[in-house]
C-alpha cells in the first residue's frame, strides 16, 4: 500500500501555527516546489504558476499558496497529467 508522504495542510497548520501563512522569497519557493527560480519567474510571466506577491522588485510567495498549487497538480497516472 502506498503511503502519502506529504502531510495535509491542516496537519502542517496544527503543528506549526503561522508557518503556512508566512511569505517566503523565490529561493525558498524554489525549494518548496522543486522548480528553479527561473522556472518560477517564467510561470509568473506566462501564468499557470503559484500565486505571488510583487512589491516593486521584491517577489514573495505564501507557503500555503505554494503547497496548494502543488497539491492541485497531484495525479494518479499519466492520463491525468496536466
Q: CATH code at 24?
A: 1.10.1660
The pLDDT of residue 3: 62
The beta strands (E) that lie in 8-57 are given as 23-24, 53-55
**What domain count does the chain have?**
1
pTM of model > 0.75: yes
- Report in angstroms the alpha-carbon separations of 47 from 40, 59, 76, 81: 10, 15, 24, 18
Flag whether 30 is in a domain: yes
Flag whether 31 is in a domain: yes
Positive or negative torsion for Cα 12, 18, 24, 27: negative
Task: Tell which phi-psi region holds residue 60, choosing left (phi > 0), alpha (psi between -120 and 50) or beta.
Answer: beta
Secondary structure of residue 54 in the 3-state scheme: strand
The pLDDT of residue 81: 67
Domain encompassing residue 67: 12-73
Flag whether 53 is in a domain: yes
Flag whether 52 is in a domain: yes
Q: pLDDT tens track of the chain, all 82 residues?
A: 456 666 777 887 788 888 889 999 999 999 999 999 999 999 999 999 999 999 999 999 999 999 999 988 888 888 876 6
Flag whether 3 is in a domain: no
Flag whether 81 is in a domain: no
Amino acid at each position: 500500500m502506498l503511503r502519502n508522504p506529504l502531510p495535509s495542510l491542516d496537519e502542517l497548520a496544527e503543528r506549526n501555527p503561522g508557518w503556512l501563512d508566512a511569505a517566503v522569497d523565490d529561493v525558498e519557493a524554489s525549494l518548496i516546489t522543486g522548480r528553479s527560480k527561473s522556472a518560477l519567474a517564467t510561470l509568473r510571466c506566462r501564468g499557470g504558476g503559484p500565486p505571488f506577491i510583487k512589491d516593486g522588485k521584491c517577489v514573495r510567495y505564501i507557503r500555503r499558496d505554494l503547497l496548494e498549487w502543488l497539491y492541485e497538480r497531484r495525479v494518479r497516472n499519466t492520463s491525468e497529467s496536466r
